Structure 1
Amino acid sequence: MTTAWCRLASVLLWAAMAAPPHAAAQALQQAVEQAVHTNPEVLAAGSRRLAADEGLKQARAGYLPRVDVNAATGRVRLDSHSTRAMGLADSSYASHLAGVTITQMLFDGFGVSSDVERQGARIEGAAYRVGATAEDIALRTVGVYVEVLRRQETVAIGMANLEAHQHIYDQIRLGADNGVLRRADLYQAESRLALAQANLRAEQGALQEAVTAFLRVVGAPPQGLSRPESLAAVLPATEREAMLVAGASHPALGAGQADIAEAEAARSLARSAMWPRLELEVGAARDRDRVLGTTDERSVMLRVRYNLFRGNADKARINEAGYQIQEAEQNLERLRRQVQESVSLAYNAYSTAQDRLASLEQYVQASDATRVSYGRQFRIGQRSLLDLLNAENEYFSARTAYVTGQYTQLASQYRILAGMGLLLATLQVAPPGEALMQAGIRSRPR
């Protein structure tokens, strides 16, 4: 078993272990599946893959014989010794010609085989890009899915905050109407009530924006969303392990490697022009005219063509292909760094969110305890109205921050899996059919 197969086997084994039966909520799985199979970006990538399939068929056609049929009809004006002897000097007559030629390429400097290999690598790259696009759309689906859930919860928090401020305002207005509290307290409570209303409206607007983003990515409005389960148990233990898996499984890197193979095959195709071309040609033709009568011609020819000079165009084309190989190699290195950066950022975001979550939970508990205590103390005159209102705002901010922290931690888990190229596998969502490669499309391994 080769090293490449060993790496692939280890990646598949890791993916199987990382995909428990309930890796994510069913609603999220359905949203991702719908997005992956209906999003225009994925469909466009799939069309590019299908176009590459047709390119391979065109390249393979070079192995087959070429059949050409020709026909001509018209008038011929002929003046020769033979026609003059026949009394047809300077005469014009009708001529009808029909023929067929079959040409079979025998040797072309490995041009057809190089083109077949180039198109095979193109198919492989297109298939990998379908997979990479599907992984990207899956991650974006997770992002908009989680954002809708987060905004739904922050809207609920905003509504609870508004109700709390409304309750305080009603109490202050009752006290002001009875002359127990000052009108200034009523104005202060009214201003904070207006702020709570504005905060709620802002959260509602953000929710509508999240719904719009969901519709754009998934292609359908969100319905019946539920919080996805945590994937912490299936994440790699270390950032280095995540990077190793990403290096072996991310489809973007596979596309980059296929681009190098395509460029190398293109250079072999360019070099084929430096070789002679050998063809077997079989032809048959019939010519009918009034002078010579009917003439039948049959031929079997072995033709050799060898270009000696074309203005150094062939050499320049070979050099061009060499630079394109270098470009593809550098693009692969760029992709490798991008994948490493993506995994590193996702892992750092996950670690940071995980560390912050405990503090944010404590922040909520402490602000809630402060709010309750201030409410009791305000009723017996030990706290001012400003203290009570500040405590309510602090509680609103704490709950919002905690919910945001929870969803940030959850989203970062999916980011890590997407950075490794294993998000669809973990969610148990089948990739588009165009992401699967045919067997034997490459004439020789890299």
Structure 2
Amino acid sequence: MSILRRTALALALATAFHAVPYGASAETLAGAMAKAYENNPDLNAARAALRAIDENVTIAKAGMRPRVTGVAEAEASRTDLDVGRANPFTGVRNGNRRTEAITSSYGITISQQIFDGFQTLYRVRAAEANVLANRESLRAQEISVLLAAVESYANIARDQTIVSIRKQNISFLKEQVKAANARLNVGEGTRTDVSLAEAELASANALLTAAVSSLKQSEAAYVQIVGETPRGIKQPSSAKKAMPRSLDNAVATGMQENPNILAAMRGADAAGFNVKEAEGAMLPGVSLQGSVFKSVNTEQGPADNLSGSVTARLTVPIYQGGAEYGQIRQAKERLGESQLLVDSARMEVQRTIASAHAQYEAANASIAAIRAQIGAANEALNGVIEERNVGQRTTLDVLNAQQNVLDAQEDLAAVQRNAVVASYSLLAATGSLTVRSQGLEVAEYRSEVHFEAVKDKWFGLRTVDSE
């Protein structure tokens, strides 16, 4: 067995032995996605934001509900009266009388909007449409986080492979330096051969340092996305579950399932209801108001009394300075904008799907070609080494052949990563990269649970736990 093959086998065994720390289980790609889905702070913040948006429906429905106001007031008064006969010389009366009174009242007023030109109705419908739009936006963010977890996992697998390759290269180059020195000592080599091998070894050490740095950066990104330190990362395989059969099938699925398209459509629905709400300002309104008040007085004041009233009011807007017309035109322009954004979202999704599909096909084709290249490069390297040993090749030839092997191996690591990321990017673009489609072992967040709990809530200050 050649020196190169013995070194490669030893390093491969060492890498396999140290890949997973003692007592720690290796992390799978599905496990990393599940942890990111559960732990990612940006995703949890987006869920909290959606729960806040759910409350807009309750706020809008308040326009249909009565308003109750309690009122209490108290008034104290004092009156001093001069009484008795006045002094004829000074005009001052020789007596006075003081009167004190405390008057208090309390009561309740109830107001109910009967008709407001359908403004409240359409305000509620717009709020519900916005909730649906933001649910889709949340789903898009969930897909984005899952894809980011895939990318960070695949990046670590790639960087680990590159570090391992460069370590093997250093071991090979150390052997070349020893061999060059040995040939120099017996008069079969030159000092130039030794210098070339040493220079290549120094360069390889620098490249290894850069690879280790890249690996640490990928691990830091993994912790940020997944929330845990990576352990036992293995080379992942491309996506299999829910993969489209063809590009046409992928585009058709994306047009129906991509959350960005659905969010834009729901946004257009909300904009349409906003137009109806703005037009309602031109219609008459009807309201009722009832009140009951109790007055309580001191013995010296007027008698206590209880009073009540019911008032019906009809308001007909005639002219409000032109603001209502501007608001209607503004709402219509925003509706047009929302409808155009739906078309834009569809075109963007179609472009993303086509790009991801092309990248996936190109990566798979490159994998097969580079594997063949590696096999040929290894055979060439072994032949050059043998020829160098009999004096037909130089050390420079060996180093060049080794560099060809190294480049091909690193290219393979890169395209394997690209194939994995492109396959999951294709799923993400079609809207199929979900907890359910991938069978991830994590509880799926159900945003409708919180919505159903708060949409008709009349009272309460405590937030609803929807987990």
Which residue number corresponds to residue 94 of structure 2? none
Per the alignment, in what secondary structure is the counterpart of residue 109 of structure 2? Answer: strand
Per-residue CA distance 1:17-75 (angstroms, 9 max, x = gap): xxxxxxxx972112111112222221222112101111111122222221111122235
Which residue number corresponds to residue 100 of structure 1? 108
Which residue number corresponds to residue 156 of structure 1? 164
Q: Distance in 2 between matches of 1:294 and 1:45?
A: 58
Which residue number corresponds to residue 73 of structure 1? 74
Which residue number corresponds to residue 460 of structure 2? none
- TM-score, length basis structure 2: 0.82
Judged with a 3 Å threshold, the aligned counterparts in structure 2 of structure 1 residues 164 and 386 are, in CA distance, closer, same or farther, namely same
1:365 aligns with 2:375: yes
Judged with a 3 Å threshold, the aligned counterparts in structure 2 of structure 1 residues 324 and 93 are, in CA distance, closer, same or farther, namely farther
Which residue number corresponds to residue 385 of structure 1? 395
Which residue number corresponds to residue 266 of structure 1? 274
Does structure 1 conserve the Cα–Cα contact (< 8 Å) formed by 2:102 and 2:301? no
Per the alignment, in what secondary structure is the counterpart of residue 227 of structure 1? Answer: coil
Offset at residue 440 of structure 1 (A): 12
Find 2:437's aligned residue among 406, 426, 440.
426
Find 2:419's aligned residue among 386, 399, 409.
409
Judged with a 3 Å threshold, the aligned counterparts in structure 2 of structure 1 residues 74 and 440 are, in CA distance, closer, same or farther, namely closer
Which residue number corresponds to residue 63 of structure 2? 62
Offset at residue 286 of structure 1 (A): 2.0
Q: Distance in 2 between matches of 1:77 and 1:113?
A: 53
1:287 aligns with 2:300: no
Q: Distance in 2 between matches of 1:258 and 1:436?
A: 19
Offset at residue 180 of structure 1 (A): 3.2
Letter in 2 for 1:413: S
Judged with a 3 Å threshold, the aligned counterparts in structure 2 of structure 1 residues 431 and 252 are, in CA distance, closer, same or farther, namely farther
Per the alignment, in what secondary structure is the counterpart of residue 300 of structure 1? Answer: strand
Q: Distance in 2 between matches of 1:26 and 1:417?
A: 22
Q: Distance in 2 between matches of 1:131 and 1:118?
A: 20
Q: How does 1:122-133 map onto structure 2 within 5 Å?
A: 122-133=130-141
Offset at residue 200 of structure 1 (A): 1.4
Does structure 2 conserve the Cα–Cα contact (< 8 Å) formed by 1:123 and 1:437? no
Offset at residue 122 of structure 1 (A): 1.3
Per the alignment, in what secondary structure is the counterpart of residue 74 of structure 1? Answer: strand
Letter in 2 for 1:46: R
Per-residue CA distance 1:253-303 (angstroms, 9 max, x = gap): 111111111111122222222222212222101234555432321112222
Which residue number corresponds to residue 331 of structure 1? 341
Q: Any gaps of 5 or more consecutive residues in structure 2? A: 1-25, 80-98, 456-467
Does structure 2 conserve the Cα–Cα contact (< 8 Å) formed by 1:375 and 1:388? yes
Letter in 1 for 2:373: Y
Which residue number corresponds to residue 84 of structure 1? none
Offset at residue 232 of structure 1 (A): 5.3
Q: Any gaps of 5 or more consecutive residues in structure 1? A: 1-24, 79-90
Which residue number corresponds to residue 41 of structure 2? 40
Q: Using the TM superposition, name which of 150-159 and 406-415 deviates more.
A: 406-415
Q: Distance in 1 between matches of 2:240 and 2:303?
A: 90
Judged with a 3 Å threshold, the aligned counterparts in structure 2 of structure 1 residues 64 and 233 are, in CA distance, closer, same or farther, namely closer
1:181 aligns with 2:189: yes
Which residue number corresponds to residue 197 of structure 1? 205
Percent identity of equivalent pairs: 24
Does structure 2 conserve the Cα–Cα contact (< 8 Å) formed by 1:256 and 1:331? yes
Q: Using the TM superposition, name which of 350-359 and 185-194 deviates more.
A: 350-359
1:243 aligns with 2:213: no
Q: Distance in 1 between matches of 2:371 and 2:286?
A: 79
Per-residue CA distance 1:110-163 (angstroms, 9 max, x = gap): 122111111111111111111000001111110010010011111111111111
Offset at residue 369 of structure 1 (A): 0.7
Per the alignment, in what secondary structure is the counterpart of residue 267 of structure 1? Answer: helix
Offset at residue 238 of structure 1 (A): 2.3
Q: Distance in 2 between matches of 1:435 and 1:128?
A: 12
Q: Using the TM superposition, name which of 227-236 and 211-220 deviates more.
A: 227-236
Per the alignment, in what secondary structure is the counterpart of residue 28 of structure 2? Answer: helix
Per the alignment, in what secondary structure is the counterpart of residue 281 of structure 2? Answer: helix
Does structure 2 conserve the Cα–Cα contact (< 8 Å) formed by 1:56 and 1:116? yes
Does structure 1 conserve the Cα–Cα contact (< 8 Å) formed by 2:241 and 2:437? no
Offset at residue 177 of structure 1 (A): 3.2
Q: Distance in 2 between matches of 1:252 and 1:285?
A: 56
Letter in 2 for 1:428: G
Letter in 1 for 2:438: L
Per the alignment, in what secondary structure is the counterpart of residue 243 of structure 1? Answer: helix
How many residue pairs are counted as aligned between the two chains? 409
Offset at residue 92 of structure 1 (A): 8.8
Per the alignment, in what secondary structure is the counterpart of residue 234 of structure 2? Answer: coil
Which residue number corresponds to residue 51 of structure 1? 52
The one of the two structures with greater contact order (alpha-carbon pairs below 8 A, sep at least 6) is: 1
Letter in 1 for 2:330: E
Q: Distance in 2 between matches of 1:134 and 1:150?
A: 24
Does structure 1 conserve the Cα–Cα contact (< 8 Å) formed by 2:140 and 2:260? yes
Per-residue CA distance 1:357-386 (angstroms, 9 max, x = gap): 222112111111100000111111111111
Q: Distance in 1 between matches of 2:317 and 2:308?
A: 28
Offset at residue 168 of structure 1 (A): 0.7
Find 2:153's aligned residue among 145, 151, 172.
145
Which residue number corresponds to residue 302 of structure 1? 312
Letter in 2 for 1:408: N
Does structure 2 conserve the Cα–Cα contact (< 8 Å) formed by 1:172 and 1:185? yes
Judged with a 3 Å threshold, the aligned counterparts in structure 2 of structure 1 residues 440 and 75 are, in CA distance, closer, same or farther, namely closer
Does structure 1 conserve the Cα–Cα contact (< 8 Å) formed by 2:281 and 2:324? yes
Larger radius of gyration: 2
Does structure 2 conserve the Cα–Cα contact (< 8 Å) formed by 1:45 and 1:126? no
Q: Which runs of 4+ in 1 moved over 6 A?
A: 439-442
Letter in 2 for 1:365: G
Does structure 2 conserve the Cα–Cα contact (< 8 Å) formed by 1:98 and 1:286? yes
Q: How does 1:430-445 map onto structure 2 within 5 Å?
A: 431-434=444-447
Judged with a 3 Å threshold, the aligned counterparts in structure 2 of structure 1 residues 428 and 137 are, in CA distance, closer, same or farther, namely same
Find 1:311's aligned residue among 308, 318, 321.
321
Q: Distance in 1 between matches of 2:242 and 2:43?
A: 27
1:134 aligns with 2:145: no
